[in-house]
Amino acid sequence: MAEPFFSDPIMTMSIPIPMMPTPARIPGHSDKRWFLQPFGLLAFLLVFSVLLAGDARATDPTPAGSIPAAPASSGNRLPSVDQVEAMIAEVAADTALDEAGKAALTEQYRRTLANLEATRTFEKQANDFAAALTTAPAETTAIREQLAQRDQGASEPDEIPKDLPKEEIARRLSIVLADATAQETRIGELDKAIERSTGRPAAIRARLTDVKTALGEIDTELNQPTSADADPASLEARRWALETRRASLWAETRMLEQDLLSQSAREALHRAKREEAVLEWETLRARQRQLEELQNQRRRDEAEAAQRESERARIAAADKHALVQEATRENTEITTSMGDLAGDLDAVALEIENLEAERKRVEQNFRAAQERIEAAGLSKALGQVLVERRDEIPDLRRLRGEIDDRDDEIAEATLRQILYREEQRQLRDLDAYLDELTARDPTTQPPEVREQLEATLEQRRRLITQALSVEDDYIRQLGELNYAADQLIQTAERFDDYLAERLLWVRSTLPVGIETLVTLPSAIGWLVAQEHWVEVAKVLTHAGVHSPLLWGLSLVVAALFWKLSALRRAIRATAEPLRRIRTDRLRHTGKAIGLSLLAALPVPLLLWLIGLQLSTSTEATGFTRALGSALIATSVGLYYLRAFRTLCITGGVADRHFRWRQDTLQRIRREFDWFSIVIVPIALTAMVLFNDSDPAFSGSLGRLAMIATMVAFSVFFARLLSPATGVLREALAASPNGWLNRLRHVWFPVIVGAPLGLAVLALLGYVYTAGVLFESLVQQTWLALALILLHQLIVRWLIVTRRRLALTAAVERASARRAQSEAERKVTAPAASELQVDEPEPDLAALDEQTRRLINAAVFFTAVLGVWLTWSDVLPALSMLERIPLWHYEGMVDGVAQPIPVTAADLGLVLVILFVATAAAKNLPALLEILLLQTESVSAGGRYAIKTLVSYGITVAAFLLAFSTLGLNWGQVQWLVAALGVGIGFGLQEIVANFISGIIILFERPVRVGDIVTIGDTTGVVTNIQIRATTIRNWDRQELLVPNKEFITGRLLNWSLTDQQNRITIPIGIEYGSDTRKALGILAKIAEQHERVLDDPAPLISFEGFGDNALTIVLRCYLNSLDGRIGVATELHQAIYDRFKEAGIGMAFPQRDVHLSMRAPLDIRLDPAVRDAFRAAEQVSQGD
C-alpha cells in the first residue's frame, strides 16, 4: 500500500480498549489464580487477542480498503448522539443554572453533535474512497473493453422504416432528444469532476497540513491542567467538544488520505465514463439526425402537397367571389411559408452537423496539443505547428453574431406561432366565423359562396395545424444550432487561451541572417509582381461593374472630400459661443468633435472600401484577399491618427475648446503628419506578406517591414513625448515636483524602448511573439488617444459647469447688493455691524481641484483596466497570477464544500478596489457637490448629508467587496467583530458613540450645515459635520468643536430646524408721567411700517409693569428668517428713539434719593495723622 501523505507518531500508536474490564475487576473471581478457571481463561484469551490485534494495527500499514480508528483521548470513549441530546435536555431543564451558563453549555454540546455528524460523514466518504480504490480500476477496464468492442463492431445506426407514421417519428424523436440531453448533462458533470480532480491533490496536501496543526492544538488544550474550582459540567462539555472535534479531524485525515490514494483511479474511471457517454451521445445524435431527416422529408412532402392543393384551389377560385379568392390567397401564403421552412430545416440540420464536426476538429487539435506539450515540451517546430493551429480556430466574433441573428429568427418564428394560434382559435368555431364574415358583405349570402368559403377555411385550419408543427421544429432546430455554436465557441476559447499562454515565448523562425538577406530580392519580386497587381485591377473593375455598394460609398467619399473645407469652417465656427459664459455649452464641444471625426474620414474610408472589395469579391485571389485585409486593418489605424490630428487643427477642438498651447498643437500636427505618411506603406507591406506569401518571404521582407514599423513607432514616441522638446515639456515644467516629472527617466525610456525591444525579438526569431505584443502595444496607443480625449472632454464639462455656477453666484450677489442698497436708503443709519447668516457658499476652486483629482484617478484606473484587458490574454505572467494560490478558504462549488484558493490575482484585485475606493471616497463628493449645486431644491445641509453618506457607502462597499474577494465571510470574521465589540465597550465607546451619533445626525438631521443652533452657552452657525464632531462658528468667528453625542443625548436649541421664523423682543422704559397709550400706538405703527416685520404672527405690544425708575413697555415682533436680524433690531431701536423724541416721550434713567437728617449737630472727627498734616501745612504757609 502507498504510504500516507504525512507520518505522525500518533498514527502508529497502539490503540487501547478503555472499556474492557481489567482482569482484577472480573465479577465473581477474586482468586489470584482466576486465569485457571474456564471463564477466566476465556476472558484472558479474549483480552490477549484484542491487545495483539491492537499491536498489529499499530505496526502494520493500514490496508487500502480498511479505515483505522482514531486514537482515543485520555482513555475515554466518545459520547453518543443520544447522550449529548440527553445532556442538552438536562441543561435546559436545570433551574439552578442561569441563562448565560445554559447557553454556554448548550453551545458546547451542539458543537459536540456537529463534530459527531462530521465524523460519520468523513468516515462514510473514506469508505467510499477506499472502495473506489478497489473497484474503480476493474470498472474502468470493463468500460474500456466495451468501448473497444463497440469500435470493432461500429456500424451505421439501424435504418428507420420509410413508412413510419408521423406520430411515431415524433415520439421516437422526443425520446432520443431526452436521452441525448441526459447524456449531455452527464458529460458536463464528468467534465466538472475531471476538472476538480486536477487541482485536488494540492488542496488535499494543504488541508492535511492544516488538520495536523489543528490536532496539535487540540492535544495541547486537552493536556492543559484544569482549575480546581472549575464547574465539572463545563469541563465535561468542553472535553466532549474537544474530543469529538479531534475524532472528526482524524476521520477527515483518513478521508483525505483515501481521497488522495484513489485520485488517479477515480479520474481514470471518470475519463472512461466520459468516453462512454460521448460515444452514446454520438449514437443518439446519429439516430436523431435520421429521425429529423425523415421528419423533414415528411414535412417537405406535406408542404409540396399543400402547395399543389393551394395552387389548384387558387386557380379554381379565379372566377369566384372576392372573399373566397382572398381566403385562397392566404392559404397559398401559408403553404409557401411551410415550404420555405422545410428547406430551412434541411439547411439548419446541415449547419448543425458542420458545427459539431468543427467542434470535434478543434477539440482533437486541443487534446493533441496538450499531449504533445506534456510529452515533449514546446519546440520551434511544434510552436510553428501550433501557431498554424491557432490560425485555424474559427472566428468567434462571427459565431456570436450568427447566434444573435438566430435569436432574432427564433423571436420572429415565435411571433408567427402566436398569430397562427390566434387564427386557429378563431377558426375553432367555423360556423360563427362564417357568420361574422358573411354579415359584413351581403353578396356572400348565397349558399354556394358560403360553401366555398367553408371549404377554403377548413383547408386553412388544417394548414395552420401543419404550420404550427413546422414552426415548432424550426424553433427547436435553431435552438440546437445555437447550442452547437455555443459549444464550439467554448471549446475554441479554451484552446485559444491554452495556446496564447504557451506560444508567446516560442521561437517561430530562425534569427535574421544571410538566408534572410538572400531571400529578400525574391520577396520584393513577389510583392511587386505584375500578375498580382493585374489581379487587383481585375477585382476592382469587377466590383465597379457589379457592386452598387462600391458606387454608393464612393459617392460618400467624394462628398466628404468635396465638403472637407466646409467641415473645417464649421469646426472653427463652434468656438464662437464659447466666448460668452451665457452661450457656452458642452454641446458645442460635442458638435465640434463629431465634425472633426467626420472630417478625418475620407482617406481611411477610401482605403477601407478598396480593402473590402479586394477581400470579399467573388473574383478575389489569395493576393487580393491579403491586400484587402491589410488595407482594412491599416485604414482603422490611419483613421485614429487623422482623427486626433484633426482635433488639433488651428481653431479646432484642442485649440478653442480644450485651450491647448499653440506650440504644442504645432508639434502634434507635425509629428502626426510624417508618422501617417511613413507608417501606412510599411505596415501594409508587412501585413500583406504575413497574410499570403511563402514563409520565407514573410520571414525576410515581411519581418523587416514589421521591424521598420516598430522603429517608426519608437521614433514617433521619442519625438512626441520627449521631456525636453515634446508636448509634455510645459506640463513637466509647471509641476517640477509631480510624479510625472520625477519619473520621466523611467516612463520615457520604457515607452520609447518597448517597440525597439519588440524589434529585437523579431530579429532573434520570435516573430510571433513580437507580432502579438506589438499588436497589443498599438491597441494601447489608440486607447491612450481615446483616454486623452475623454479626459479633456470631462474637464471641459467641469469648466463649463464651474463658469455657469460662478455666473449664477455673481448675479445673485449683484442682486443682493442692489437690494441692500435700496434698503439702506430707506433707513436713517446703515447696519454696518450686521451679521449675514447665509448658507455656506461652495468653494468652487476647491471643488474644481477635487473633481480634477477624481477625473485623473478615474482616467488612470481606466487606463490600468485597459492595459490589463489588452495584455492579460497575451502575457502569461499576468495570467499566471491566477495560478499562484496564497491561501484557501472553504466555499461551495456546485453545492459541494471545497477549498477555494485566494490567488495573487485576487490580491491584486483587492489592491485595485482599495485604490479606486480611496480615490472615489476622497473626490467623488466634490463631483456630487457640483452636480447638486445645479439643483435648487437641495439645500446646503442636504448636499452635505448626501456627499458624506456617499463617501461612507463607498468605503463600506469597498471593504465588503475586498473581504469577499479574499474569501472572508461573516462566519470567519465574526470573532473579530466580537473582539472589536468588547474593545469598543471598554475603550472606544466615546469615539464610536460620536461616530454613530454623526450618522444619526446625517439621517435624522436634527442639525444641518447652515443651521443656527444654541448648545450650552454657545450660539452660532453649523459649518461642518464630521465623523466625530460638529463645528459651530459663533458671532465672533470662533469655531467650537462639539462631539456629535451632545446633539443626540443633550439639549439642543435649533433656531432654524423647521423654519427660520424668529422673534425680536425690545423692552423700553419711559418716564413716569408719560402717555402710555400714545407710546403703545407709536410702537404698533413702527412695527406695522417695517417691511421685515411679519403681519402673521402679528406684533405684540404690552405694558409690562411699573419699574423702580420707569414704566416698562415691551415690543415683540416676528421676522421671516434669521438673515439681517441684527440690522432689523437696529432699525427698530432707531425708529423708536426718533418717534418717541418727536412725541415728547422721555426715556427713563436711574434715579436715587439722598435723605440728610438735621435733628442733631454733625459729629465730624479727623484722623490724628490727617490733623497733624494739616497743621504742618499751615505752619509752612505762615513762614512763607
pLDDT tens sequence across 137-174: 988 888 888 888 877 665 556 677 777 787 888 888 88
177 contacts: CB under 8 Å, gap ≥ 6: 288
**Mean pLDDT computed over every residue of the chain:** 77
pLDDT for residue 705: 93
Query: First-to-last CA distance in the chain?
Result: 143
Domain shared by 462 and 518, yes or no: no
pLDDT at 807 over 80: no
Give CA–CA dist 5/202, Å, rounded: 11
Burial of 941 (0-12, 13-18, 19+ CB in 10 A): buried
CB atoms within 10 A of CB 56: 10
Provide the sign of the torsion angle of the four alpha carbons 203, 206, 210, 212, taken in this order: positive
pLDDT for residue 154: 55
pLDDT for residue 975: 55
Q: Are 704 and 520 in contact (CB under 8 A)?
A: yes
- Report the pLDDT averaged over residues 341-347: 83
Q: Looking at the domain assignment, is residue 549 inside a domain?
A: yes
Q: Looking at the domain assignment, is residue 1170 inside a domain?
A: no
9, three cell numbers: 507518531
From residue 805, alpha-carbon distances to 107, 443, 851, 933, 936 in Å are 63, 76, 15, 8, 12
Q: Looking at the domain assignment, is residue 699 inside a domain?
A: yes
> Per this entry, what is the length of the chain?
1184
pLDDT for residue 894: 52
> Which residues lie across from 1042 on neighbouring strands?
1030
Domain shared by 460 and 552, yes or no: no
CB atoms within 10 A of CB 1136: 21
Give CA–CA dist 367/355, Å, rounded: 18
pLDDT for residue 882: 62
- Report the pLDDT averaged over residues 1059-1068: 83
Domain shared by 432 and 357, yes or no: yes
pLDDT for residue 665: 92
- Report the pLDDT averaged over residues 1105-1111: 83
- Report the pLDDT averaged over residues 61-80: 51
Q: Looking at the domain assignment, is residue 1037 inside a domain?
A: no
pLDDT at 70 over 70: no
- For the range 422-426, what are the long-range contacts, defined as Cβ-Cβ under 8 Å and sequence gap of 24 or more? 423/460, 423/464, 424/461, 424/464, 424/465, 424/468
Q: Are 103 and 232 in contact (CB under 8 A)?
A: no
CATH number at residue 1085: 3.30.70.100
pLDDT at 635 over 90: yes
Residue type, 866: G
Q: Looking at the domain assignment, is residue 36 inside a domain?
A: no
> Which residues lie across from 1032 on neighbouring strands?
1022, 1040
Widest CA span in the chain: 170
pLDDT at 196 over 80: no
Give the closest residue to 698 by CA, choosing from 684, 688, 707.
688
Domain shared by 335 and 257, yes or no: no
Domain shared by 600 and 732, yes or no: yes
Which ranges of 508-563 does DSSP label H, i.e. alpha helix? 514-527, 530-546, 548-562
pLDDT for residue 45: 36
Give CA–CA dist 930/781, Å, rounded: 32
Give the closest residue to 1014 by CA, choosing from 982, 1052, 1047.
1052
Report residue 12's pLDDT band, with 50, 70 and 90 as the boundaries: very low
Report residue 720's pLDDT band, with 50, 70 and 90 as the boundaries: very high
Q: Which of 314-318, 392-396, 836-840, 1167-1171 has the lowest mean pLDDT?
A: 836-840
Domain shared by 223 and 106, yes or no: yes
Q: Are 290 and 160 in contact (CB under 8 A)?
A: yes
Give the 3-state secondary structure of residue 900: strand
- The secondary structure of the chain in percent helix, strand, coil, rounded to multiples of 5, reads 75, 5, 20
Domain C-terminal end among 968, 986, 1010: 968
pLDDT at 350 over 80: yes
Left (φ > 0), alpha (ψ -120 to 50) or beta: where does 1072 sit? beta
Give the closest residue to 203 by CA, choosing from 899, 1161, 872.
899
Transcribe 1115-1180 into DSSP letters: EEEEESSSTTHHHHHHHHHHHHHHHHHHTT-PBP----------SS-------HHHHHHHHHHHHH
Domain shared by 379 and 462, yes or no: yes
Domain shared by 1122 and 1083, yes or no: yes
**1111-1119 and 1100-1106 as β-strands: parallel, antiparallel, unpaired?**
antiparallel
Q: Which of 661-670, 907-916, 1086-1095 has the lowest mean pLDDT?
A: 907-916
pLDDT at 1037 over 50: yes
Give CA–CA dist 27/850, Å, rounded: 90
Residue type, 212: K
pLDDT for residue 236: 86
The domain of 466 spans 320-502
Sheet with strand 1039-1043: strands edge to edge: 1039-1043, 1029-1034, 1018-1025, 1012-1015, 1053-1054
Q: Looking at the domain assignment, is residue 75 inside a domain?
A: yes
pLDDT for residue 839: 40
Give the closest residue to 505 by CA, choosing from 904, 882, 881, 877.
877
From residue 509, alpha-carbon distances to 222, 586, 692, 1133 in Å are 67, 53, 17, 100
454 membership: H or E segment, kind and range: helix 447-502
573 contacts: CB under 8 Å, gap ≥ 6: none
Residue scoring higher pLDDT (693 or 143): 143
Give CA–CA dist 329/323, Å, rounded: 10
Q: Looking at the domain assignment, is residue 576 inside a domain?
A: no
Domain shared by 674 and 554, yes or no: yes
Give the closest residue to 22 by CA, choosing from 53, 52, 43, 49.
43
770, three cell numbers: 513580437
Q: Looking at the domain assignment, is residue 1050 inside a domain?
A: no
Total of domains in the chain = 5
Domain shared by 469 and 525, yes or no: no
At 1129-1183, the pLDDT tens digits run 898 999 998 898 888 888 877 766 666 666 666 666 667 776 777 677 677 666 6
Report residue 603's pLDDT band, with 50, 70 and 90 as the boundaries: very high
pLDDT for residue 514: 85
Domain C-terminal end among 949, 968, 987: 968
> Which residues lie across from 891 on neighbouring strands?
898
Report residue 306's pLDDT band, with 50, 70 and 90 as the boundaries: confident
Domain shared by 464 and 551, yes or no: no
Report residue 1063's pLDDT band, with 50, 70 and 90 as the boundaries: confident
Domain shared by 452 and 549, yes or no: no
Domain C-terminal end among 447, 468, 502: 502
- Does this model's pTM top 0.85? no
